[in-house]
Structure 1
Amino acid sequence: MEFTELRLESQPRRLSSDAAGKDRRTSVDKAVCVLKAFGDDANVGVGVSELSRRADLSKSTTFRLLAMLEKSEMVERIGTAYRFGPAIQSLGGQDESSRRHDQARDLLTPFLADLFVATRLTVQLAVLEGQHVIYLNKLEGHQRLRTPSRIGGHMPAYCTGVGKVFMAFDPAAEADGLRAERHRWTPNTIVDEQALRVELARVRVEGIAHDRGESLETLNCIAAPVMSRRGVPLAALSVSGRADAFRPQEHEHTLRQVALAASRAVARFEARLAAA
């Protein structure tokens, strides 16, 4: 009986590393793939599972790379999602919109300080850029409030108090915001178009926009517009607090007063520019 002919066939075949699909990318290559995977969601936020799928990496590898990028402030964690951090956003040069933002921040920060002194709560100054708001400044007390915003950071307009202000009082911003894909950040986020239209109509009547745990479930916020001479918001001011303790009605009058004073300062500034 001859068994020798079967001996080689009975051994399992060893695959080459290429055949086994071994990933030959370096750690730097993989980190770059993760950053590229953010795509148009870089300022909004993407979950680890989705990033790993886009970058064609395992979830554990993606999580490890994100932890490394977070230490260097290239990305930052917002709840269970990640977005670009301050380090990567500071790499670009200053363009015209950046200069406008600097101008608005310099003009309106004194009013933000007035709002903080009057409320002793977290207050924010924001402008609109496309379908997102950009936070130009933020003042907090000694007890930091957990918020999804940071200076220089972006958030979608539809789920924030400041964003609703722009959408309510600027028809172009409303059209842009309604065209945007709306992600349910929390169970409270308004994603239905008709419900959002009703909410914006209420903002136009009351002059105050609310974020009732829509961007972060534990956070409530009220916001008011700082109007330009064109009759649309140049910026927005907001007051935020913990959802279980914040009483918006106690701060609405103060917010309206400060926003009105800021709007008058903007009108004077724009008049000087027009006369120059």
Structure 2
Amino acid sequence: MTTGQRDSRTAVDKALALLRAFGDEAGTGVGVSELARRTELSKSTAFRLLGILERNGAVERAGSNYRLGPMIHDLPSPESAPDIDMLRDVLTPFLSILYEQSRQTVHLAVLQGPDVVYLNKLHGFHRVPSPSRIGGRVPAYCTGIGKAMLAYDPVLIDQVCSGELVPVTPHTITDPDKLRRQLARVKEQGIAFDFEEVRRGLNCVAAPVMSPTHTPVAALSISGPVGKFDPRRWATPLRQISFEASKVYAAQMRARRQRAAQVKSA
């Protein structure tokens, strides 16, 4: 749109344009300035409309960025979300590597609002009853895999810590200040732990898979029975595997953008 030309689009048109503008970054997040550029809106208009969309669950904060929210994810669809499919396809091989190395139960999950949603799971030899199931949701604050992603979203941290931290087990962290301190360490160290916080007898170590913009798109975890599995021992190998997974994810994102640009220019 040329400078000075009146924008005849309605507010609904502009809001829908913002939702479409996320593209391949719908799950990782895009900044207000970039969304405004993509939709040819002023930054103030984009910010105002994003606020309305956020209040209605269509988008949510991801640090200083925005991403599509739970209302959009919960809309019925005849097929799985392409981004989720890509994450599962790209990252499941790394989940298999974790399993082969540890022989413990391993998980792949994403963060949707304050909850973890599990995309894949491979069972270890020493099974401990676990609340995790593929497609299931668990509060992020009481799981290692959830804290590995939650730590990078200050807006969501405020939301979680200002709400009720229900004790799932006697070991669940229910003190908001203690949880904040722990999440700060997770962000600093790139690794998260869960010591019987979601299930008694179960320990867990987790690390985020990062996008090119340094925000988590998913996380990988290893969990095992107390007394037989020491999660601290697996912190370094898990960091390395998550780092490699992040590189492969970034390469896939670049390839998708290049294909989209080629189709657009054809």
Query: Normalized against structure 2, the TM-score is what?
Result: 0.65
Q: Secondary structure at the match of 1:226?
A: strand
Q: Check conservation: 2:205, 2:223, Cα contact below 8 A.
A: yes
1:133 and 1:95 map into 2 onto residues whose CA distance is 23
Please identify the structure whose Cα radius of gyration is greater. Answer: 1
Aligned with 2:150 (options 167, 170, 189): 167
State whether residues 124 and 135 of structure 1, in contact with CA within 8 Å, keep that contact through their aligned partners in structure 2.
Answer: yes
1:268 aligns with 2:251: yes
Q: Do residues 138 (structure 1) and 121 (structure 2) align?
A: yes
Change (3 A) 1:143 1:190: closer
**Per-residue CA shift, 1:181-220, capped at 9, x if unaligned?**
3110111111111011011011122211011111112110
CA contact (8 A) 1:166 1:174 kept: no
Contact in 1 for aligned 2:106/2:124 (Cα 8 Å): no
- Which of 167, 170, 187 is the equivalent residue of 1:204? 187
> What amino acid does structure 2 have at the position aligned with 1:113?
S
Q: What's the counterpart of residue 57 of structure 2?
A: none
Q: Which runs of 5+ in 2 are unaligned?
A: 1-73, 260-266
Alignment RMSD: 2.0
Alignment partner of 1:103 is 2:91: no
Matches within 5 A, 1:115-154: 115-154=98-137
Q: Is the 8 Å Cα contact of residues 127 and 236 (structure 1) preserved in structure 2?
A: yes
Which SS does the other structure have where 1:164 is aligned?
helix
Give the aligned residue type for 1:121.
Q
Using the TM superposition, give the Cα deviation of residue 93 of structure 1 relative to its aligned residue in structure 2, in angstroms: 3.6
Amino acid at match of 2:187: R
Contact 2:143 2:198 in 1 (8 A): yes
CA distance in 1, matches of 2:155, 2:258: 27
> Separation in 2 of the partners of 1:95 and 1:163?
28
Write out per-residue CA displacement over residues 3-27 of structure 1, whole angstroms, 9 at most, x where no aligned residue.
xxxxxxxxxxxxxxxxxxxxxxxxx
User: Alpha-carbon deviations, 1:111-148, whole Å to 9, x = none?
Assistant: 10011111111000000111100000000134433211
Q: Which has the higher contact order (CA 8 A, sep 6+)?
A: 2
1:221 is aligned, of 194, 204, 212, to 204
Matches within 5 A, 1:42-121: 93-94=76-77, 98-121=81-104
Q: 1:25-71, CA deviations, whole angstroms, 9 ceiling, x for partnerless residues?
A: xxxxxxxxxxxxxxxxxxxxxxxxxxxxxxxxxxxxxxxxxxxxxxx
CA distance in 2, matches of 1:212, 1:149: 15
Q: CA deviation at 1:245?
A: 2.1
Amino acid at match of 2:167: R
Q: Please, which runs of 5 or more residues in structure 1 have no aligned partner?
A: 1-90
